[in-house]
């Protein structure tokens, strides 16, 4: 009887160990089942109409901002550029989708010049105000416009979360301003490994 108990205990431990290896350990916030899949109808920084489905087969990082942003947006895109650089050849399977919440100033041409300064895997997205508002609402992103100064310049307050989708367009992870490059490297690497199995 004692041997049977020992055998059952060993088998249970082996099963638990196998289960623990089959589930990825995320360093970012796991949002699977809590946020909607990647879906939108916008225009990219080359003036082409695109949808969420246009990026199937890639890990997509969705971030809302604007090109006149004085600090948060360029810092975030610079961090994401480092992540892409760290991925090396695997970066070809990742796209950063930078959705402008300032379509009045962020034309496709302006967006193109801005995002390409950070790297080739970063795509600028814009569109009509209503289309942007629908995408922002879908992911619970808030933004608002400050008063214009004498020269017509204004700031846009906006959420700074990064939504990460797998190659099927399913929402998987959420990163914040406090997320480190190392955490992003780790989790995006794990998502890429999922699809290589």
Q: Domain containing 44 — which CATH number?
A: 3.40.30.10
Domain contains 20: no
Residue 37 lies in a domain: yes
Q: Answer yes or no: is 172 within a domain.
A: yes
- Give 150-191 pLDDT, tens digit per residue: 988 999 999 999 999 999 999 999 999 899 999 999 999 999
pLDDT score at 24: 67
Q: Provide the domain limits for residue 167.
A: 27-196
| DSSP letters for 47-88 | S-EEEGGGGTTSEEEEEEE-TT-SSHHHHHHHHHHHHHHHHG
Percentage of the chain surpassing pLDDT 70? 87
Q: How far apart are CA 46 and CA 122, in angstroms?
A: 12
195 has a pLDDT exceeding 90: no
> Given phi > 0 = left and psi -120 to 50 = alpha, else beta, which region is 115?
alpha
How many structural domains is the chain composed of?
1
Task: List the structure tokens of 152.
Answer: 């017509």
Length of the chain (residues): 197
Cβ contacts of residue 40 below 8 Å, gap of 6+? Answer: 51, 52, 99, 125, 131, 134, 135, 138
In a domain, 102, yes or no: yes
- Would residue 21 count as lying in a domain? no
Please give the model's pTM, rounded to 2 decimal places: 0.86
> Tens digit of pLDDT for each residue in 83-99?
999 999 999 999 999 99
Half-sphere exposure of 185 (CA within 13 A, CB side): 11
Residue 150 located in a structural domain: yes
Tens-place pLDDT, residues 5-57: 333 333 333 333 334 344 669 999 999 999 999 999 999 999 999 999 999 99
3-state DSSP call for residue 146?
coil
Identify whether 108 is part of a domain: yes
């Amino acid at each position: 009887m004692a041997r049977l108990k020992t055998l059952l205990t060993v088998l249970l431990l082996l099963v638990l160990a196998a289960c623990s290896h089959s589930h990825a350990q995320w360093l970012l916030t796991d949002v699977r089942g809590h946020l909607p899949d990647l879906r939108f109808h916008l225009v990219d920084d080359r003036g082409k109409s695109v949808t969420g489905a246009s990026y199937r087969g890639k890990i997509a990082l969705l971030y809302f901002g604007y090109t006149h942003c004085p600090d948060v947006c360029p810092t975030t895109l610079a961090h994401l550029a480092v992540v892409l650089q760290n991925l090396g050849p695997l970066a070809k399977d990742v796209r950063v989708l930078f959705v402008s919440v300032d379509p009045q100033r962020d034309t496709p041409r302006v967006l193109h010049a801005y995002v390409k300064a950070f790297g080739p895997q970063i795509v600028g997205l814009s569109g009509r105000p209503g289309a942007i508002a629908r995408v922002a609402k879908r992911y619970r992103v808030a933004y608002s416009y400050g008063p214009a100064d004498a020269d017509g310049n204004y700031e846009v307050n906006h959420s700074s979360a990064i939504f990460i989708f797998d190659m099927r367009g399913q929402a998987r992870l959420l990163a914040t301003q406090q997320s480190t490059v190392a955490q992003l490297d780790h989790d995006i690497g794990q998502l890429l490994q999922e699809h290589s199995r």
